Amino acid sequence: MAIRPYKGILPTVGPRVYIDEAASIIGDVVIGADTSIWPMCSVRGDVNYIRIGSRTNIQDGSILHGTHDYEGVPGGWAVIVGDDVTIGHQCIIHGCTVESRCLIGMGSAILDGAVLREGVFLGAGSLVTEGKELEGGYLWMGRPAKRVRELTDEEKAWFEYSARHYVDLKNDYLK
């Protein structure tokens, strides 16, 4: 079963959402319209909540999970992902915020308290360390991620293209 409750809280799924049957969506999770979650993804809203915007795609093997409330982090860290975000294959999105119109390259990890501002392009295999804030409009890469350069107009257009492509793809799966 792809969608299941935790402690009586069932995920809320918006209209026209595709969730692959091999994905797991658990607990306090809200997913916006036209979003897609692909095979082997784990979106586990058990120790904190997860909010995913509209037209976002979370690709195969990615993990979204928060951090629980404890003395060192009152309230813990939730996961918030904006609209029109592409999260590539096998990413770890843990207790962080990814604002709208971002692209997270395959195999990247974003850790607790990190914030990616709107328009971040994070290169494949990158690591965003705890509490780091990435400014939008730039390519960030590395372990740890560093600002490489300003995005080109073509790269900025990729945010919309990727989101639109995955909306079309998930519509094929929903037919």
- What is the rounded average pLDDT of the residues 93-120? 98
pLDDT tens-place string over residues 43-55: 999 999 999 999 9
Average pLDDT over residues 169-175: 96
The per-residue pLDDT for 105 is 98
Specify the 3-state DSSP secondary structure of 13.
strand
31 and 49 Cβ atoms separated by less than 8 Å: no
Cβ–Cβ < 8 Å for 147, 158: no
Domains and their CATH numbers in the chain? 3-174 (2.160.10.10)
Average pLDDT of the segment spanning 77-86: 98
Whole-number pLDDT of residue 63 = 98
Could you give the C-alpha distances from 145 to 65, 107, 130, in angstroms and in order? 20, 13, 11
117 has a pLDDT exceeding 70: yes
Cα–Cα dist 35/164, whole Å: 10
pLDDT of 159: 95
Are 163 and 27 within 8 A, CB to CB? no
Tell me what pLDDT residue 109 has.
98
3-state secondary structure 81-133: ECCCCEECCCCEEECCEECCCCEECCCCEECCCCEECCCCEECCCCEECCCCE
- Over the stretch 138-154, which tens digit does the pLDDT of each residue have? 999 999 999 999 999 99
Residue 86: per-residue pLDDT = 98
* Average pLDDT of every residue of the chain: 97
Name the pLDDT band for 1 (thresholds 50, 70, 90).
low
